[in-house]
Structure 1
């Protein structure tokens, strides 16, 4: 064709608007599904939480084997606290009304399901006196067209000389409390435009702001502690402002649906410096919140399923052995063996989950558009939930991703690369852990374990290579990365 790729990539403004409206409708459906899923599963998850509480150090192990992004936010000192005292973590949806039911239809019946409370339960410990630390993230709409999660700092009652944040959580809470108590700051009101700029300028002159800024500048180890997560604020938006902004957004959306023109949003404040950002103790707060909500669930589910699958597999093997035994008095079921397999399955599933995430990042399965693909029209300013305001200035990120996916395909060299690493380093490592663990309580010396390992490791490897490469090719090529551990 004679026309260039840039000339081919032309999207009519009306088409863009139609796609954005459809995407917004799909987003509303996703949000409604989130609310219904929460209502359907909250009792089950509460029961699961009670059962998990009986497993020693369960949550510490889960955090220790979390995704690399979450792991990067946790220091060795934080992990020590989790090991010693973390008993549970639960996710609640505080703005889903108590009257909401699964049979309700329409997003308006479910409040704001994207607001979340992450609750940590701790036993008595050497660091702080709190038994519960509860962090709530509110999904708010701003008058400037933004939308996303904001939060209020909470106080952690640290014991003397045990504050892992080196005073940052106390200073962040003090600044927040001073703002709330100052009528001129009006944090609960609707403050926009020049009035907001004036409020922001005044907040920078507050003694508590300056004290927090100085402590941030002087802090070293304290600045990287996970416990600063509880001080995260984000770009503060009040509930009152959110109500007005959401009403304006819905009015624009309805006007667009009716074919009426909509005014473009003013982007003059796009690069404005906000005081909250300058003294944010945990800049990645909203990202870590999403990781805790979205990543910990699949990892936890995978680990629990693996626990039961490994236990069931060993029980089945023992029953089959008894069935085929010629001994009129076969050995009783070895309950310790079942427990060993269950524990191995629980921990191996978490290691395996992280292993598959690592392999996928190293060798992505899917093609993307080449780097020289011309850019689409300018995208709009986006919010934390990947929703977009209605405008003719650009298209959405999800639409671009759909365009990329339409030209995507399996990268077989990447599949083979994953396969080679998995069937050599991965298989060797996991089999070694399996042989050591399942024989640890059955022999008296480490040399005996080493002898068992030498006698079995390569035999199992060679036997496995007769079938597992074919299984894993399908696994790597067709199965989503978060489900590969269970398939394997």
Structure 2
């Protein structure tokens, strides 16, 4: 069975390829021209995603291990049973794993959110620009100029979507694997925007 990092990379690649195909369709529709698939940008998006997804998965795993979203506290039923000295009820809750309940760690969630929307967003934006400048055959110096030129417009566009996705993921979604799925689904929309931008 493939590892979670492989599963999320494959799923993300499929969604990125789909977003590029949709973007090509939108471009053809808007220009009133026949829809013919250009496989080069599809391949470029899949290649970039294959390279960038594993480090992103590891980044999200690091954030979760360093700043866990949840912590365990005695459940209200367990507190009530303890106050009543109800040993039988406490034993029952322990056996059924109801003695503790999970609470959202707000400080850790906000810390992860801020790190993801600063360090993570900056790294992803710069790497995307540099990679696609390289795909266009630009040398390193020209690629850096392109990345600098594209940086703020892409960051500002990203802030219309990714902070909401990030906060939802950290506050509601429990596992890194499921967060990757939510991120990939949001990435379908974002990929269409990027494909239109790079088209």
Structure 1 residues 484 and 437 mapped into 2: Cα distance closer, same or farther (>3 Å)? Answer: same
Larger Rg: 1
Paired position in structure 1 for 2:130 = 436
Give yes or no for contact 1:365–1:411 (8 Å, CA) kept in 2. Answer: yes
Paired position in structure 1 for 2:13 = 307
Unaligned runs of 5+ in 2: 75-90, 184-199
How do 1:369-380 and structure 2 match up within 5 A? Answer: 369=73
Distance in structure 1 (CA, Å) of the matches to 2:156 and 2:142: 22
Matched, 1:356 2:60: yes
Instruction: Give the structure with the larger helix fraction.
Output: 2
- Find the residue that maps to 1:443 and give its secondary structure: coil
The TM-score, its normalising length taken from structure 2, stands at: 0.74
| Bigger relative contact order (CA 8 A; separation at least 6) | 2
Paired position in structure 1 for 2:180 = 485
Measured against aligned partners, the alpha-carbon deviations of 1:149-193 in whole angstroms (never above 9, x if no partner) come to xxxxxxxxxxxxxxxxxxxxxxxxxxxxxxxxxxxxxxxxxxxxx
Distance in structure 2 (CA, Å) of the matches to 1:469 and 1:319: 28
Give yes or no for contact 2:12–2:49 (8 Å, CA) kept in 1. Answer: yes
Paired position in structure 1 for 2:187 = none
Give 1:359 shift: 0.5
The TM-score, its normalising length taken from structure 1, stands at: 0.32
Give 1:366 shift: 0.5
Give 1:428 shift: 0.8
Structure 2 residue corresponding to 1:338, chosen from 20, 36, 42: 42
Distance in structure 1 (CA, Å) of the matches to 2:98 and 2:177: 20
Unaligned runs of 5+ in 1: 1-90, 92-295, 371-394
Give yes or no for contact 1:310–1:341 (8 Å, CA) kept in 2. Answer: yes
Paired position in structure 2 for 1:143 = none
Distance in structure 2 (CA, Å) of the matches to 1:401 and 1:300: 32
Matched, 1:403 2:109: no
Measured against aligned partners, the alpha-carbon deviations of 1:208-229 in whole angstroms (never above 9, x if no partner) come to xxxxxxxxxxxxxxxxxxxxxx
Number of residue pairs aligned between Structure 1 and Structure 2: 164
Give 1:400 shift: 8.8
Give yes or no for contact 1:314–1:338 (8 Å, CA) kept in 2. Answer: yes
Give 1:466 shift: 2.4
- Find the residue that maps to 2:99 and give its secondary structure: helix
Matched, 1:426 2:120: yes
Q: Which runs of 4+ in 1 moved over 4 A?
A: 398-402
Give 1:453 shift: 0.4
